[in-house]
Amino acid sequence: MDEDLKRKLLVVLAVLLLPSSAQTGNTDRLSGHHCTDFQTANFLRGSKLKVQFLLFTSSSPSCGELISADDGIKNCSFNSSLETKIIIHGFRALGTKPSWIEGLVRAILHTSQVNVIAVDWVYGSTGAYPSAVENVTQLALAISHFISKLLALGVSGTSIHIIGVSLGAHVGGLVGHFHGGHLGRITDFGIRIPVGHIDYFVNGGKDQPGCPRFISAGYNFLICDHMRAVHLYISALNHPCPIMGFPCASHQDFLNGHCLDCAEPFLSSCPRIGLLEQAGVNMSRLPQEVKVFLMTSPSAPFCVHHSLVEFHLQKKRNRVTSIEISFSSNSTKDTAKITIPKDQETGKHLLAHRVPLCQINSVTLRYIPKNRFWSKDEPSVVGKFCVAPLPLNSSRTRSCLPWILTLPSKTDISYDLPTACA
């Protein structure tokens, strides 16, 4: 669905579901300070910008401590010797606290000992989307002023990491601009054009597996693809399996197996979604712009293993050849389709599988003929099957089944896939 239409439907939902304005607070008995929650707004009262900065620490990961950009920073639990993560949410159609905030805060604090500051601008981000956009510059200035106060306390600019979600991503970019590009890192979500040193195009950056494809799914249809980015990020922090990307010129080149390693420009250390210490970016100087591509599973923890699958015909054919490849383990089955162009011998494709290649019990191949009313395809094809786990480098090479395969038309043929675990 067109993004503009999705936004209009979100506004309609906001009119139908108007929450009341409220602010809640309680006392955290462990730290003794007052806990402040996000504001709530409604469609009629949410256009005026009211900004709160809520501090979360490892000692109080579920208790937001309200701090100001003035001398209040000195009298709170903020630790200037630690790195600081600043989270900026986006458009809030219903005027409520983002449901993912608590999960992201907990995931960050579970991973590393840092200051986490959540920027609450629910007032100003709700109502009509254009009015929220109008508040972006003023919000960015408020956050920039807050960061300047941190810098005045002796906090290093390189220790500040901004995490922006949706419209908050644009805010984060503007804050970085106001500070002359001298902040440590900016991680943003939800845009299709490359704008950073490294841009991750997950499943091509469009429709995400596991998200509904029909409007009958309601609100989840509108928001699922867009918000998958933040859930991927949280999952990458909570789970040990890496959500790894591969540099490539385009999504189609990636799927067709043209980009198999990370030698350039990442010195064979493939970039991963997550915090910098987990990101696998092994280079002294960041590139101006690199696009990396990856696939995911439909549900958390989302991480998959990527393998190159190839089929080599014994002889060329004067028509396109399609072969379906499936990997099966004790609990999973994952499938991809190889297309061998007319008058060529080799076809290849990437197959994403949820368990390591060494846990795949069997591979199933199925030849799909292109029969037409006036032309019948051959009843079988003959060739060789090969597979290689990514990244493909000197230590990981292709392995092939040691026999020539004959694949009858529309018939599943299964073979053991003996691959040793490292």
Mind listing the pLDDT tens digit for each residue in 171-218? 999 999 999 999 999 999 867 788 888 999 999 988 999 998 888 777
pLDDT in tens, 383-400: 999 999 999 876 677 889
Residue tagged 């990997």 (tokens): 327
pLDDT grade for 69, boundaries at 50, 70 and 90? low
| Average pLDDT for 124-139 | 92
What is the 3-class SS of 128-159, one letter each residue? CHHHHHHCHHHHHHHHHHHHHHHHHCCCCHHH
CATH number attached to the domain at 193-303? 3.40.50.1820
Q: What is the pLDDT of residue 269?
A: 86
**Which of 74-83, 289-298, 372-381: highest mean pLDDT?**
289-298
pLDDT grade for 15, boundaries at 50, 70 and 90? very low
pLDDT exceeds cutoff 60 at 55: yes
pLDDT in tens, 140-177: 999 999 999 999 989 999 999 999 999 999 999 999 99
pLDDT grade for 9, boundaries at 50, 70 and 90? very low
**Range 237-241 contact pairs with CB under 8 angstroms and sequence separation of 24 or more:** 237/104, 237/107, 237/108, 237/110, 237/111, 237/274, 237/275, 237/278, 238/107, 238/110, 238/301, 239/300, 239/301, 239/303, 241/301, 241/303
pLDDT grade for 30, boundaries at 50, 70 and 90? very low
pLDDT grade for 278, boundaries at 50, 70 and 90? low
Q: What is the pLDDT of residue 280?
A: 67
pLDDT exceeds cutoff 70 at 14: no
Q: Would you state the CATH architecture of domain 305-416?
A: Sandwich (2.60)
Averaged pLDDT of the chain: 87
pLDDT exceeds cutoff 60 at 304: yes
185: which residues sit within 8 A by CB, 6+ positions away?
160, 161, 162, 276
What are the distances in angstroms from CA 202 to CA 161, 243, 271, 351?
22, 10, 13, 15
Q: What is the pLDDT of residue 24?
A: 38
Q: What is the pLDDT of residue 44?
A: 60
* Amino acid type, 103: G
Domain 3-188 bears CATH identifier 3.40.50.1820: yes
pLDDT grade for 83, boundaries at 50, 70 and 90? very high
Percentage of the chain lying above the pLDDT 70 cut: 87
- Least confident among 106-120, 273-287, 382-396: 273-287
Q: What is the pLDDT of residue 27?
A: 44
How many whole angstroms separate alpha carbon 250 and alpha carbon 112? 34
pLDDT in tens, 219-276: 778 889 989 999 999 999 999 999 999 999 999 999 999 999 998 888 888 999 988 6
Percentage of the chain lying above the pLDDT 90 cut: 66
How many whole angstroms separate alpha carbon 194 and alpha carbon 198? 8
Domain range annotation of the chain: 3-188, 193-303, 305-416
Q: What is the pLDDT of residue 360?
A: 94
- Total-model pTM: 0.87
Q: How far is CA 212 from the centre of its chain?
A: 17
Q: Which of 125, 166, 158 lies closest to 142, judged by CA?
A: 125
**Which of 64-78, 254-268, 334-348: highest mean pLDDT?**
334-348
The answer to whether domain 3-188 and domain 193-303 are alike in fold is yes
pLDDT exceeds cutoff 80 at 401: yes
Q: What is the pLDDT of residue 6?
A: 46
More confident residue, 373 or 136: 136
262: which residues sit within 8 A by CB, 6+ positions away?
246, 247, 268, 269, 270, 271, 391
Q: What is the pLDDT of residue 23?
A: 36
pLDDT grade for 418, boundaries at 50, 70 and 90? confident
